[in-house]
Amino acid sequence: MNEKINLIRDNPYKALFLLAIPIIILLIFNETYTVIDTYFISTLGKTVIVAFGYIAHFYYFLNRIGKGLGRGVSSMITRFIGAEKYENINNIALHGCIIIVVITFLLQLIFIVFSENILKLTVPKSSIIPTYIYLQCLFTFLIFVLASEYFAELLNSEGETRLSTAIMVLGVFFNLIFDYIFIIIMKLGILGASLGSVIAYIITTIIFLYIYIIQKNHIITFKKSAFKYDLSIIVEILKNSIPLILDSLMTTIAGILILTALQKFATPTAIMAFVLIFRVEMLFFTPISGISKACNIIVGYLFGAGKYKKVIKQLNYSILISFIINIIIGIILILNMHIIMGFFTKDITVINESQNILYIMVIDLIAFSVINNSNQGLVAIGYSSHSFYSIIVRLISLFTSIIILAYSCDIGEMGVLISLLVSDIIQALYSYFRFKHFVLKEEKKLNTNG
């Protein structure tokens, strides 16, 4: 553990790859599961596929609540480790657990009371029932989803990305097995997909609890004696986490806005193609997410240690590596699109429509390289609120662009896709220059005090 922390401080460029590779492996397993799961779902018909497009956005939001709380807490922990202050770390982690329990209860209550109205407002009538069935099961076992993601982020904060990856990959493995059993063998349909996910999360939660509570060979051990209620810790955790959770909510709203606009301007074939392309591209572009998450850990350590020049260099380096990987994978994906899409459908119109959508989305993911790294950097240095502000900027830009291009200029489907590209470029510029501004501000403050 100490060797990893020393490597981050002394050679952050090398540490980027050592930390990123396990995370990328996990993300590849996660997205491979998603692609295979999409294949299982595709056997249930177009209505369920469209429903799954909406489910994916709701699921993303719920999943990111656990991650958001975990990153909010881990950003505090990495800065404490960077400053070599270990005494309050367990207390912070335990306060995070309490918040997880409270948020789970509140979300379940909201689902019970408002789910019918929310689904009627956001989901096409034909897709409401399968969407509700999936979410009802997911909300019932929501505590395990949030806790598992939270515990994984805490392990990452100690530089233990390989261990957290191994546990989450095991969860993906179980998810695939249960999906096959419930969807293909037992014919449980969309309910089977949801059951497979929650059972996998139950298993990974149990494993994390065993590591933290039984093994006790990490910085974080969840000792009861370490807990001392402190409202200021809760405030600080929420200050770091709420922007990330709201960021996820805005991302979910943006995704639903795009699907809703496509419902108006695009054919059912184009909507199906968009949903399938979205699932496929997340698999192929997992290295970008892995690098940005590793960048988050390293930037937190460097910022805590007061090495501000290295902080900016580290972010620029991460963006450059992400950009190069993006270009290479984008070319491979475009050249093999027909083969990849043939895995899901034999409908040549869907495949051709996918090719057109892909060109826009590959260009868009170049902006995604900047957004992901910059927003992870903002979280790491304690300015997660500006990660949230960036998604607000994106949402406003997206809505405005859709009104102008799709409605006023009557470009239709292509106007929706171009709006997605424009809004992401604007968000990328905002996130990057905000990050740089705050780091330079802290450096100036240090020089003035020095």
Question: pLDDT digit string (tens) for 210-252?
Answer: 988 887 677 777 887 778 888 888 888 888 788 777 777 777 7
Look up tokens 């403050």; give the residue.
Answer: 445
292 or 82, which is more confident: 292
Within-domain flag for 148:
yes
As for how many domains the chain has, the answer is 1
50 or 134, which is more confident: 134
Within-domain flag for 194:
yes
Question: pLDDT at position 3, please?
Answer: 61
- CB-based burial of residue 218 (10 Å sphere; 0-12 exposed, 13-18 middle, 19+ buried)? middle
Q: What is the mean pLDDT of residues 118-130?
A: 83
Does residue 66 carry a pLDDT above 80?
Answer: yes
Choose among 287, 205, 201: nearest CA to 22.
Answer: 287
Look up tokens 């850990």; give the residue.
Answer: 297
Spatial contact of 142 and 61, defined as CB atoms under 8 Å apart: no
Within-domain flag for 243:
yes
Cα gap 450→447, rounded to integer Å: 5
Q: What is the mean pLDDT of residues 288-297?
A: 79
Spatial contact of 297 and 4, defined as CB atoms under 8 Å apart: no
pLDDT in tens, 387-397: 878 888 888 99
Question: pLDDT at position 376, please?
Answer: 84
pLDDT in tens, 313-334: 888 988 888 888 878 877 877 7
Q: What is the mean pLDDT of residues 36-43?
A: 69
Across all residues in the chain, what is the average pLDDT? 81
pLDDT in tens, 95-116: 999 999 999 999 999 999 998 8
Angstrom distances, CA of residue 424 to CA of 60, 143, 372, 397, 398:
18, 32, 11, 8, 8
Question: pLDDT at position 195, please?
Answer: 92
Cα gap 271→2, rounded to integer Å: 50
Question: pLDDT at position 32, please?
Answer: 67
Q: What is the mean pLDDT of residues 293-303?
A: 81
Within-domain flag for 406:
yes
Q: What is the mean pLDDT of residues 299-323?
A: 85
Of how many residues is the chain composed? 450
Q: How much is the pTM?
A: 0.66
Task: With residue 72 as reference, give the H or E element that holds it.
Answer: helix 46-82
Choose among 143, 133, 157, 151: nearest CA to 51.
Answer: 133
Question: pLDDT at position 1, please?
Answer: 46
Within-domain flag for 360:
yes
Q: What is the mean pLDDT of residues 364-390?
A: 83
Cα gap 172→196, rounded to integer Å: 10
Within-domain flag for 319:
yes
Within-domain flag for 450:
no
Q: What tokens were used for 322?
A: 């992400």
Q: Which residues constitute the domain of residue 328?
A: 2-445
- Which range has the top average pLDDT, 68-82, 156-170, 187-201? 187-201
Choose among 427, 420, 369, 421: nearest CA to 394.
Answer: 427
Within-domain flag for 158:
yes
SS3 state of residue 141: coil
